[in-house]
Amino acid sequence: MKLLKTLMAGAALVVGLGGMAHAQDKTKIGFVYVGPVGDFGWSYEHDQGRKAVEDAFGDKVETTFVESVPEGADSERVMTQMALSGAKLIFTTSFGYMDPTINVAKKFPNVKFEHATGYKQADNVSTYSARFYEGRSVIGHIAGNMTESNTIGYIASFPIPEVIRGINASYLAAKAVNPDVKMKIVWVYTWFDPGKEADAATALIEQGADIIMQHTDSPAAMTIAEEKGILAFGQASDMKQFGPNARLSSIIDNWAPYYIERTQAVIDGTWKSGNTWAGIKDGMVEIGEFSDKIPADVKASATALKDGIAAGTIHSFTGPINKQDGSPWLAEGETADDGTLATMNFYVEGIEGEIPQ
Amino acid sequence: MIRLEPRTEPSRAMIALTPILAVLATMIAGGILFSVLGKNPFEAIRMIFWDPVLGEHAFYYRGQILVKAAPLIMIALGLSFGFRAGIWNIGAEGQFIMGAVIGAAAGLALYPSQSIFVYPIMLIAGTLGGMLWALIPAYLKIKFNANEILVSLMLVYVAFNFLAGMVTGPLRDPDGFNFPESRSFQQWDAASNPELIAGSGIHWGVLMTLGLVIVAYIVLTRHIFGFHIRLAGQSPRAAKFGGVNPNKMIAICLGLSGALAGMAGLYEVTGPAGKLTTTFPLGYGFTAIIVAFLGRLHPIGILLAGLLLAVTYVGGDVIQANLSLPKASIQVFQGMLLFFLLAVDVLVHFRLRFKRGI
């Protein structure tokens, strides 16, 4: 009897160890999201990227995610927890996770971190972002052509360079085809708050906007646009299901190729810290299908713009461009360099209002 | 027809037991919720309550429980005095924010001084900031009999927008590329509230919280002020005859709860949060209301309730990551706790009578 027990315990141990060895074969990857995966915008697309990693690597990886993680102290805990549970690669997908990511990365030098939209790197922290402004140029071009009230409404989240860049790029593209165009901007100070986003959309419509753009994560504004019979663009995700009539096109973030590439690098042991800023050319920014409401000539010119940006022959910020106060920024034919774009904190000439300071 | 009939003498044992019964009921109902979502309920409950305290990585989580519990307990202690006296400060979140902003501003005015006086000045400024913010509803109540519930709640939104204005304006980090954040206090020794023992989670705010629990206990049970508070809550008329000035009571209760909320805000922003951002307030001021009631408005009860709620927060993240549960299900679980507490409370104070007709 005693012998049997010993044997069984031994067998259990062997099975247990076998199981552990098997578990260690899998590369664990964690994802931290700022909104719910069901936001059908920003976090949703990051989660699509996670699923693409699972599809691409199958049994070789194991992914986990935590959604709606507040930026700040809580996110640090969530990342630490992932690292403690054996994650080898952690994607932190909001700007506000920047310092927490750096803090946790210091404690876990063997874990690789990928922080979206930030500017602080370390030996085991890469940053990545998409050139969303390229997409803004294309939808700004469409909006400038399509607006009848010559007023575009813009729901902005936080007055950080990324958001200001998007406003400037949209405005420049719209103004290029419609010199009378005006842009109304509402700051909501949140990435994801369907209630506030909807209120902002309503306020913009009351101010005469007949096309809404947004730099927030939920389809709330699209829903309002559909109700009020005006036009809007999908943001981060296509959002067609929320505004079948309202939606003109969309800027879609496609993180899948990058996530697969970085996962492969970790598996191969070739991962290196770096900064990736990819755009339409690399497929990280995609333009959603054009609605039938867009006239054929506008479709053609928008496609040409998109193709030009992809080919590198067109840059969203090409001079002559003055700053809002009238001082010159870019001379005729000059294009903006990445350094200036990364720290952009001014409006271009023609935009009304002030950046909240 | 079901009727609620007040019990003449609610059982003291049952009053003490209600929080425990509520937790048990939450575990059962939560277990059902998790099994409906296709997860093993025992595993889920274990991950929430056991893993953070005694599980594999508990050495890390235990510290994090203290980090989350400290502000909840500190704010709830302040609120409990007012709640006992029937003065309802619902705006602790706003006072928490104002404490952090005013305290941070006082510190940033001295940047980059490394004087040892920087932190005490910030702490005093933060505490006063929270207190003054809470004295607005107090003043309006005393002067115009304005409802302090509404005024204090509305001031939360004012405080939030004040915070947003400050971090995009005067308090923005000049070296921060226009991002809406203040300078980092974690990287400025004189103004930081660091982990005192690496990995323990213990910072100055945690120690202060423990001290305040003891002080609150003594004040409530041994001091004349505690007696007045209890008297005002149980029998306002008797309190008046006993020489308790209701206006003074309003000012003291609101001011005190605001001061503690402001202090908690300052500890948070210089410690775990690290800097002022629009996202640093995590709703501690609102959650503390649950903590105060879960703890029966008693300092020791609040200490335990704060720790319990902190465990469910830390554990909530554990099951989210390990079982792929949606965040909403964990929030439902945490909400059940208050729901069951109130439900059990009703049954302790009332008995159900089943009657025909009216």
> A220-229, pLDDT tens digit by residue?
999 999 999 9
> B236-266, pLDDT tens digit by residue?
888 888 888 889 999 999 999 999 999 999 9
Give whole-number Cα distances, B197 to B200, B202, B275, in Å. 6, 7, 21
Q: Mark yes or no for CB contact A67/B327 under 8 Å.
A: yes
Could you say which residues from 67 to 126 on chain A have a Cβ atom under 8 Å away from some Cβ of chain B? Answer: 67-74, 76-78, 80-82, 84-85, 95-96, 99, 103, 119
pLDDT of A218 reads 92
- Shortest CA gap B55–chain A (Å): 12
The answer on pLDDT for B201 being more than 70 is yes
- Shortest CA gap B100–chain A (Å): 14
Q: How far apart are CA A89 and CA A110, in angstroms?
A: 9
pLDDT of A304 reads 96
pLDDT of A16 reads 40
Q: Mark yes or no for CB contact A85/B60 under 8 Å.
A: no
Quick one: pLDDT band at residue A1, thresholds 50, 70, 90?
A: very low
Three-point CA angle B303, B307, B309, nearest 5°: 120
Q: Mark yes or no for CB contact B179/A160 under 8 Å.
A: yes
The answer on pLDDT for B178 being more than 90 is no
Residue A185: strand, helix, or coil: strand
Torsion angle defined by CA atoms of residues B41, B46, B49 and B50, in that order, rounded to the nearest 10 degrees = 180
Percent of chain A with pLDDT over 90: 81
> B109-150, pLDDT tens digit by residue?
998 899 999 999 999 999 999 999 999 999 999 999 999 999
pLDDT of B218 reads 94
Please identify which residue in the block is written with the tokens 């790029």.
Answer: A169
Which among B168, B277, B321 is the nearest to A356, CB-wise?
A: B168
pLDDT of B321 reads 82
Q: Mark yes or no for CB contact B326/A67 under 8 Å.
A: yes
Cross-strand pairs, A129: A277
> A284-332, pLDDT tens digit by residue?
999 999 999 999 999 999 999 999 999 999 999 998 999 999 999 999 9
Q: CB distance from B311 to chain A under 8 Å?
A: no
Give whole-number Cα distances, B116 to B111, B113, B348, in Å. 12, 9, 52
The answer on pLDDT for A3 being more than 60 is no
* Phi, psi of A183, deg, nearest 5: -120, 125
pLDDT of B169 reads 86
Pairing of strands B2-6, B350-354: antiparallel
- What is the value of ipTM here, to two decimals? 0.82
Amino acid at A291: S
Quick one: pLDDT band at residue A345, thresholds 50, 70, 90?
A: confident
> A70-123, pLDDT tens digit by residue?
888 889 999 999 999 999 999 999 988 999 999 999 999 999 999 999 889 999
Could you say which residues from 129 to 168 on chain A have a Cβ atom under 8 Å away from some Cβ of chain B? Answer: 158-161, 164
What are the chain B neighbours of A95 within 8 Å (beta carbons)?
179
The answer on pLDDT for B40 being more than 80 is yes
The answer on pLDDT for B228 being more than 90 is no
pLDDT of A22 reads 45
Structure tokens at A109: 């030098």
Residue A156 in contact with residue A226, Cβ under 8 Å?
A: no
pLDDT of A20 reads 42
Domains and CATH numbers, chain A: 2-131+255-278 (3.40.50.2300), 132-253+286-342 (3.40.50.2300)
Q: How far apart are CA B6 and CA B246, in angstroms?
A: 28
Q: Mark yes or no for CB contact B169/A357 under 8 Å.
A: yes
Structure tokens at A88: 């080898």
pLDDT of B354 reads 78
- Mutation pick from A50, A51, A74 vs chain B, by most beta carbons of B within 10 Å, is A74
pLDDT of B357 reads 56
Q: CB distance from A257 to chain B under 8 Å?
A: no
Q: How far apart are CA A275 and CA B162, in angstroms?
A: 34
Least confident residue range of A72-76, A210-214, A348-352, B90-94: A72-76
Residue A261 in contact with residue A276, Cβ under 8 Å?
A: no
Percent of chain B with pLDDT over 90: 59
User: pTM of the predicted model, to two decimals?
Assistant: 0.85
The DSSP secondary structure of B239-262, one letter per residue, reads HHHTT--HHHHHHHHHHHHHHHHH
- Shortest CA gap A16–chain B (Å): 17
What are the chain A neighbours of B177 within 8 Å (beta carbons)?
119, 160-161, 342-343, 345
Structure tokens at B210: 């423990």
pLDDT of B5 reads 84
Q: How far apart are CA A130 and CA A252, in angstroms?
A: 10
Beta strands in chain B (DSSP E): 2-6, 350-354
Cross-strand pairs, B22: none
Q: CB distance from A199 to chain B under 8 Å?
A: no
Quick one: pLDDT band at residue B356, thresholds 50, 70, 90?
A: low
pLDDT of B224 reads 87
Q: Mark yes or no for CB contact A342/B177 under 8 Å.
A: yes
